[in-house]
Each structure stands twice: as C-alpha cells, then as structure tokens.
C-alpha cells in the first residue's frame, strides 16, 4: 500500500511540474480573449455614405462583426460567403434580430474596396448587411483580441477567420474562430440577443487532466484522464482497507 502511494505521488509530482515546460501558447483560449469587454467605439464609414460609430450601429440591433480585408486571397471570401449562406438558412431575423458588419482591418482599404466586395457577394441591397472601414482599426482589433500579421513576401495578412458577436451595449459576447457550422452561428446570434447559451472553457495543452475530450472527427465525447482522478480516491480507499486487514492478519498469525 505504502509503495503504491509512493509510486502514485512520484508519478504525479513528475507529471505536474513537467506541464510548466509545455508550450504556454493560448491555443484554444483565443475565443475567450476579451469576452464581455466593451469593444472600441470606432467611427465607421459605411458603404452607402453613412458615418456612424460602432456602438450607435449596435444600439438598435446587435451586430455580427466579420473582420476581413479586400485583397485577401485566403479565408476572407469563404468566411463571408459561408456567413451569408448560414444566416439565410437559419432565418433567425424575426426571432433574434441582428445586423452584420463586414469591417476591413487593412488600413490601406478604401470605402470603394468594400463597396466592390459587397457587390461581389451580392449584398449591396441587403438591409441588415453593412460593409465599411474605419480610421481606428488598431483600437478595434485590439479590443477584439484579433492579431493579423502582415506577410511581406506574400503581400497578405496572416490572420484568423473571425466572427465576433457584439451586444446592443457594445460588449463582445461571443467569438467564433475558423469556419464554423450553422449551430455555432446560431449560438452567437443567441448570445448577442441575451439568450442563455451553455459555454465552457476549451481544454489546452496546459490542462492534461480533463474529464472528457471531444473528438472532432467522430463527434463523440470520450473519457479523459481527469476521470481517473475522480475514481482514484475510491480505489485507494479500498486498497487501504484491504491492505490494513491483510497487514493486521499477518501480524496476528
């Protein structure tokens, strides 16, 4: 029994400090960065000529914010296209109102570039879609926690596909990284409309003892190492009880 306890302690003491040597990248926590913070109230220049601040635009209807740039040869076009298709399919506008703001994070983009982009997606006449630019893009992306990196070789920004939900009070209630399905998009729209959505912190490589792990390939939840920690006390207890009895019997015979 003593040996077992010693072995378990050694294993635990070896594994845990080793964790601090692992990468401390924020990994999947990026969706949590700046959540519930108020976004920077940037003055926006919208296609169609309107000048309005971000918070004013969100005041009547909460916003789905998509950060893109017009010369993007990567994920921007699929992001907007998929957003358009998913929103059309979900048809939530009656039940959960929202507007979509497609904002350029490229300081070189002009309002004409965004106008062209809106036309390309055939969204110029859609009443709930806004395309625009701002002079305060750095403050906006900082408040969102979005970090595009300019690649001089490719003449492109290296960046995430990002959608952010902005409530009528200008607070960011949810972020979606990557191209996501309609279910996730529905949750984002619900969150900006103050509908409760279950949320939880995603595991990272700094957290090894998770109870359950989601396998994206099979869509199944599989037990994790954390469950062992929950079961372990019962096992140790019974081993102790049996061990004591055996030791006592040995002593008396």
Q: Of 29 and 121, which CB lies nearer to other proteins in the complex structure?
A: 29
List the Cα angle 206/211/215 in 5-degree steps: 80
Q: Of 18 and 89, which CB lies nearer to other proteins in the complex structure?
A: 18
Q: Is 244 in the site for other proteins (CB under 8 A)?
A: yes
DSSP state, 49? Answer: S
Q: What are the Cα distances from residue 7, in Å, to 3, 15, 67, 231, 240?
A: 6, 12, 52, 17, 15
| Position among 14, 20, 122, 253 found at the interface with other proteins (CB under 8 A) | 20
With CB under 8 A as the contact rule, which of the stretches 40-48, 96-104, 160-168, 206-214 interacts with other proteins? 206-214
Q: Of 12 and 89, which CB lies nearer to other proteins in the complex structure?
A: 12
Which string of b and e fits 85-99 if b means at least 16 CB within 10 Å?
Answer: ebbeeeebeeebebb
Residues 6 or more apart whose Cβ sits within 8 Å of residue 21: none
Closest to 161 (Cα-Cα) out of 141, 171, 174, 176: 176
| Alpha-helical runs (H) found in 102-224 | 111-120, 137-144, 182-192
With CB under 8 A as the contact rule, which of the stretches 59-67, 114-122, 165-173, 201-209 interacts with other proteins? 201-209
Q: Of 50 and 229, which CB lies nearer to other proteins in the complex structure?
A: 229
Q: Which two tokens stand for residue 198?
A: 């279950």
Q: Of 1 and 111, which CB lies nearer to other proteins in the complex structure?
A: 1
Q: Of 50 and 230, which CB lies nearer to other proteins in the complex structure?
A: 230
Contact between 145 and 33 under an 8 Å Cβ cutoff? The reply is yes
Q: Is 36 in the site for other proteins (CB under 8 A)?
A: no
Q: Is 239 in the site for other proteins (CB under 8 A)?
A: no
Q: Is 248 in the site for other proteins (CB under 8 A)?
A: yes
With CB under 8 A as the contact rule, which of the stretches 123-131, 132-140, 166-174, 194-202 interacts with other proteins? 194-202
Shortest reach from residue 58's CB to other proteins, in Å: 26
Helix (H) or strand (E) holding 5: helix 2-19
| Alpha-helical runs (H) found in 33-177 | 54-60, 76-90, 111-120, 137-144
Where along the sequence are the contacts to other proteins (CB under 8 A)? Answer: 12, 16-17, 19-22, 24, 198, 200-201, 203-204, 206-207, 209-212, 221, 224, 226, 229-230, 232-234, 236-238, 240-242, 244-245, 248, 252
């Amino acid at each position: 029994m003593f040996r077992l306890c010693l072995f378990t302690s050694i294993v635990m003491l070896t594994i845990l400090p080793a964790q601090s040597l692992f990468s401390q990248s924020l990994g999947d926590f990026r969706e949590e960065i700046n959540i519930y913070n108020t976004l920077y109230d940037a003055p926006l220049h919208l296609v169609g000529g309107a000048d309005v601040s971000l918070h004013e635009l969100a005041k009547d209807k909460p916003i789905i914010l998509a950060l893109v740039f017009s010369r993007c040869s990567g994920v921007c076009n699929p992001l907007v296209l998929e957003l358009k298709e998913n929103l059309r399919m979900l048809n939530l506008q009656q039940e959960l109102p929202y507007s979509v703001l497609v904002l350029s994070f490229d300081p070189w983009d002009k309002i004409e570039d965004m106008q062209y982009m809106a036309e390309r997606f055939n969204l110029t006449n859609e009443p709930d879609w806004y395309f625009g630019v701002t002079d305060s893009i750095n403050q906006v992306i900082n408040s969102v926690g979005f970090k595009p990196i300019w690649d001089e070789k490719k003449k492109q920004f290296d960046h995430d596909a990002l959608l952010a939900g902005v409530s009528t009070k200008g607070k960011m209630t949810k972020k979606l990284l990557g191209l996501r399905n309609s279910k996730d998009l529905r949750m984002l729209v619900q969150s900006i409309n103050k509908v409760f959505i279950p949320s939880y912190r995603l595991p990272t490589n700094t957290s090894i003892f998770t109870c359950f792990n989601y396998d994206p390939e099979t869509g199944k939840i599989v037990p994790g190492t954390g469950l062992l920690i929950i079961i372990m006390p019962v096992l140790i207890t019974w081993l102790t009880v049996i061990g004591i009895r055996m030791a006592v019997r040995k002593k008396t015979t």
